[in-house]
Structure 1
């Protein structure tokens, strides 16, 4: 049975900002889990696609294969919570499920630090399993806490949601920085450390929660489905209370579609890792995988349609409305989740991330404020929590203090490292070549001037007769001190040069010799100093989504509370169109760029702004309307359908994101982003056009 918090008179006695202290224990637990999740995610694609030989080497996978691995991971993240929720409900309770999931995820991060093929894949598997236990049961504990205080739930979930975004923000910022600047395994390791500390502070805070989350619940809940989700639901019509039990045929079809679904989820990963095909190569002369998947889709559609038509009219119509929204949510997440794959690669390879002069000064000031101000606010909340709970959970508070000392220390180290770097102008010999297009015509800039590339001379690049050898200059930011006129050896990675230490040089030469390749180390000379320049990490841009959510969420919420609150389909359609504008900005900004050229970082900043605004319009709508449209006894089934749609969207996002290099090579980078501009706009217009139909199907639900 559930715990009634009204029977615990002191439950709301220890308040922080008007809420029980237990809410903020959950806040910090979720924050550190999101820190680890997003901290790892922002590194994974970069690590998989980085060159095997380099200062920060990776696996040198092509983007298609790397994204296929990520696609499997993303799909399973939305499947395992179904089983994790059931196990917690029936057997181990929410608290143990959260702790078990956290520990499994910690082991996953630890495995990934080893960077070997076995342990990397093992780490991803453990993260998927751990998320399955963690994700649904955190919200279940929160729901149980406020079961007797429904009027406080909206505020509680708003605070909890801020914890989600704060964790994502700092995870991508700090793990991304350490992973790119120091080494991938350090970034993966930092994510695991905070995951472990977050687990400890949660478990040691048990006295604050009493019996909440300890007793298994008899009612199966799926993912974030809690009783509050249908608190505002329209009363179920009398005629709809007729049962519609699953038939033997239903169960058989569910088993068949589930098997096909899991084969689809694992097929690409199995083939990439072990050359194992889970589908036959051909069936009746057609591609076997395509035939089986199409058959599975047809069976699935038959299953859904056959079940829906058995319901009374009002219930049937409302479920059809939910399925329409679920269908369009696939297109939203298919585009929005490019932030996990193609946008990271675009930031790394095609965005101008070196700023100098006033631009560098402005960025440094902005980045300091962006880092320090949120940390001060969250640290203040930590102090308030400690005042209320230090006697009940002393050790938990100590662990939480250690986590914040760690994150403060890491943040200060990151900021001081950037501020103390010196930029050197180094000169080297290079072959000057005019860039030609596919038709061997000179490529020109917007002023109709020819564009040249400079190929540095090295053991691997020696001049031939007729080559135009010139002196070229590059700007390099380093922590070490060099003198003007000092000879140095430099190495190009991710489009930028680095001055090599003797240790780095020896390691690179060794790796080139193992691969039987000529080293591309370049002889150069320091010719000038420039103290006002900074290179932004590719990971930094990913934090913009969390930043804009925190900045814009209250404004959008006020809009929905005003007389300008549109119907659900209008909100959803506008969300799709607004997000598409972000990709349209990228398509315009990347128009005409060639390999080796980069665009202003502002294109990416504006894109993330519109993506986030689109998310705020669309994302909260779906879950809200599922809870309103579906009777409580069918809520689990329809939420399962909803999360399946999100899983498919995430899977497609990764697979399509993996095509960025293929489409860019065949057409252009601008065409790649146009795909995610046109498709969501069409989907948005369609869902807006369906508003009269959906309104009729909802039968009074607003």
Structure 2
């Protein structure tokens, strides 16, 4: 059956393929399970081993360290997860197997045992690595090339992500923190089973997307092993990779802490990715492609900075909320996990407002490039830690800090995320060379994962320097990085070679069409 007929045969609901809503609910329940686990993780680790709801009794620094490794690996595994789907399984089966592995991981976590805890975390990392990058690809596959509904479809899908996050932090957070940690882990697993059942039920609506690649498609794929092989004829690039590998070995023997060999594996992974990226740059045959590729790599550094600060929410800020915030409201103590729902709630409230602001700004001819929005988003998010500085100062004086500092911090973090995160994904599709687009999306997720690891490293320093110093340092660093990017904006935009120059015309055309529709409906 031709692609055109396959698209034509799709059943629709509210103007979109029914498959979109299948993927919406699958991802909603997957994110419910992930963010429910995220809300509980550090609090469970630091909870004392005695009492009605005992935890593992770890130090704050130890729990934040594990949180950093866990959240990094969840995103870094998107690279092999995407490659496995592209080369062997197809996105549809990869999502299925990822969902099954996630169910097993959350199910194992329901057992109160050390082996179960680490086994469950490992399975969740593998499951998310298979599911996360491939379900997004399937959403795009529901729409044929040039279908104007695609952006709206992704917006609907994004609502599912945040709805799952919002529900999880309330429900799983309360059950785990107030009743039993392992009940909370088990509840997250039940949610993932619901997501798997929805996905299995909806297979008939996903017949033409994410299928196993044909032999011809495999032969046309890029061999990343062959790109690494070309390093032998590139002395400078080979030397850089070898230096990183030697540093990895050095880290294994000299770094303090139980995770020293973890850093060895991380640096070797970075060396391999760096080698592939350098070889991709050499294979690009025009100056425009090479310049855009460089800008894209620089934007990934901004991504690492952004998430390195933002992801304090699940680590340092989570522990701070539990131990140093006065959470009494109308005679009831609010669970610490509930504060993590503020991000998802604010996203649902302000997503269209922020998007509308940038659209109006572009229509007026003012600066609204992706790099500019990412820099502004990083600065706004960083300024949210000013409120955490005030909270830490109040705690040092009074012995506890008020809840409203957290609310204001999460508000600024969310506005910054809305300026930066969706834009970064769009920016990749504009600048990445077409034949490397999937890899660059995987590298984006890996950069997000590295940002999560940076968040863990920074959060660990709070036990040494104190929260006040850490929050102040994050604020200063993120604002300085944002200012630096804005100062370099003109040369960076020149290197994009007009990749975003036609967006104002497209917006004007969309507004014109909407106005005509309003006139027709009123008549």
TM exceeds 0.5? Answer: yes
> Which position in structure 1 is the counterpart of 2:404?
602
1:166 corresponds to 2:139: no
Aligned-pair CA distance for 1:128: 0.6
1:59 to 53, 56, 61: 56
Q: What is the CA–CA distance in structure 2 between the aligned matches of 1:269 and 1:4, rounded to whole Å?
A: 54
Helix, strand or coil: the match of 2:349?
Answer: helix
- Bigger Cα displacement from structure 2, 88-97 vs 341-350: 88-97
Contact 2:316 2:459 in 1 (8 A): yes
Q: What is the CA–CA distance in structure 2 between the aligned matches of 1:537 and 1:639, rounded to whole Å?
A: 36
Taking structure 1 as reference, are residues 202 and 640 closer, same or farther at Cα in structure 2, changes over 3 Å only? closer
> Which position in structure 2 is the counterpart of 1:308?
281
Q: What is the CA–CA distance in structure 2 between the aligned matches of 1:597 and 1:301, rounded to whole Å?
A: 47
1:698 corresponds to 2:500: no
> Which position in structure 2 is the counterpart of 1:109?
106
Q: What is the CA–CA distance in structure 2 between the aligned matches of 1:631 and 1:51, rounded to whole Å?
A: 51
Q: What is the CA–CA distance in structure 2 between the aligned matches of 1:681 and 1:202, rounded to whole Å?
A: 42
Contact 1:72 1:266 in 2 (8 A): no
Taking structure 1 as reference, are residues 556 and 264 closer, same or farther at Cα in structure 2, changes over 3 Å only? farther
Taking structure 1 as reference, are residues 107 and 348 closer, same or farther at Cα in structure 2, changes over 3 Å only? same
> Which position in structure 2 is the counterpart of 1:88?
85
Contact 2:244 2:267 in 1 (8 A): no
Contact 1:350 1:596 in 2 (8 A): no
Contact 1:109 1:192 in 2 (8 A): yes
Taking structure 1 as reference, are residues 324 and 582 closer, same or farther at Cα in structure 2, changes over 3 Å only? same
Q: What is the CA–CA distance in structure 2 between the aligned matches of 1:143 and 1:112, rounded to whole Å?
A: 33
> Which position in structure 1 is the counterpart of 2:387?
585
Q: Deviations over 1:112-141 (max 9, x none)?
A: 111311110000100011111111221222
Contact 2:245 2:268 in 1 (8 A): no
Q: Deviations over 1:74-113 (max 9, x none)?
A: 2211222222222222322322221211111111111111
Contact 1:253 1:300 in 2 (8 A): no
Taking structure 1 as reference, are residues 613 and 33 closer, same or farther at Cα in structure 2, changes over 3 Å only? same
Q: What is the CA–CA distance in structure 1 between the aligned matches of 2:240 and 2:327, rounded to whole Å?
A: 49
> Which position in structure 1 is the counterpart of 2:413?
611
> Which position in structure 2 is the counterpart of 1:412?
none
> Which position in structure 2 is the counterpart of 1:247?
230
Aligned-pair CA distance for 1:260: 7.6
> Which position in structure 1 is the counterpart of 2:436?
634
Matches within 5 A, 1:671-690: 671-690=469-488
1:544 corresponds to 2:342: yes
1:141 corresponds to 2:124: no
1:349 corresponds to 2:323: yes
1:330 corresponds to 2:304: yes
Q: Deviations over 1:463-516 (max 9, x none)?
A: xxxxxxxxxxxxxxxxxxxxxxxxxxxxxxxxxxxxxxxxxxxxxxxxxxxxxx
Aligned-pair CA distance for 1:589: 2.7
Say which structure is richer in strand.
Answer: 1
Contact 2:393 2:468 in 1 (8 A): yes
Contact 1:244 1:310 in 2 (8 A): no
- Bigger Cα displacement from structure 2, 54-63 vs 564-573: 564-573
| Structure 2, unaligned runs of 5 or more | 219-225, 501-523
Helix, strand or coil: the match of 2:53?
Answer: coil
Q: Deviations over 1:177-221 (max 9, x none)?
A: 00011010010000001101210121022223334333336658x
Aligned-pair CA distance for 1:567: 2.0
1:660 to 462, 471, 474: 462
Aligned-pair CA distance for 1:20: 1.9
Taking structure 1 as reference, are residues 260 and 26 closer, same or farther at Cα in structure 2, changes over 3 Å only? farther
Helix, strand or coil: the match of 1:644?
Answer: helix
Please give the TM-score of this superposition, normalised by the length of structure 1.
0.64
Aligned-pair CA distance for 1:587: 0.3
Matches within 5 A, 1:14-53: 15-53=12-50
Q: Deviations over 1:368-405 (max 9, x none)?
A: xxxxxxxxxxxxxxxxxxxxxxxxxxxxxxxxxxxxxx
Q: What is the CA–CA distance in structure 2 between the aligned matches of 1:124 and 1:270, rounded to whole Å?
A: 23
Aligned-pair CA distance for 1:71: 1.7
Contact 2:238 2:275 in 1 (8 A): no
Q: What is the CA–CA distance in structure 1 between the aligned matches of 2:31 and 2:136, rounded to whole Å?
A: 14
1:319 to 290, 293, 299: 293
Aligned-pair CA distance for 1:634: 2.9
Helix, strand or coil: the match of 1:656?
Answer: helix
Q: What is the CA–CA distance in structure 2 between the aligned matches of 1:28 and 1:264, rounded to whole Å?
A: 46
Contact 2:81 2:131 in 1 (8 A): yes
Taking structure 1 as reference, are residues 640 and 134 closer, same or farther at Cα in structure 2, changes over 3 Å only? closer
Q: What is the CA–CA distance in structure 2 between the aligned matches of 1:141 and 1:670, rounded to whole Å?
A: 44
- Bigger Cα displacement from structure 2, 567-576 vs 20-29: 567-576
Contact 2:315 2:456 in 1 (8 A): yes
Query: Alignment length, in residue pairs?
Result: 484
Q: What is the CA–CA distance in structure 2 between the aligned matches of 1:142 and 1:267, rounded to whole Å?
A: 45
Helix, strand or coil: the match of 1:150?
Answer: coil
1:154 corresponds to 2:151: yes
Aligned-pair CA distance for 1:293: 8.6
Matches within 5 A, 1:205-216: 205-216=202-213
Matches within 5 A, 1:560-575: 560-562=358-360, 563=364, 564=366, 566-575=368-377
Taking structure 1 as reference, are residues 554 and 204 closer, same or farther at Cα in structure 2, changes over 3 Å only? same
1:555 to 345, 348, 353: 353
Q: What is the CA–CA distance in structure 2 between the aligned matches of 1:612 and 1:214, rounded to whole Å?
A: 36
1:68 corresponds to 2:62: no
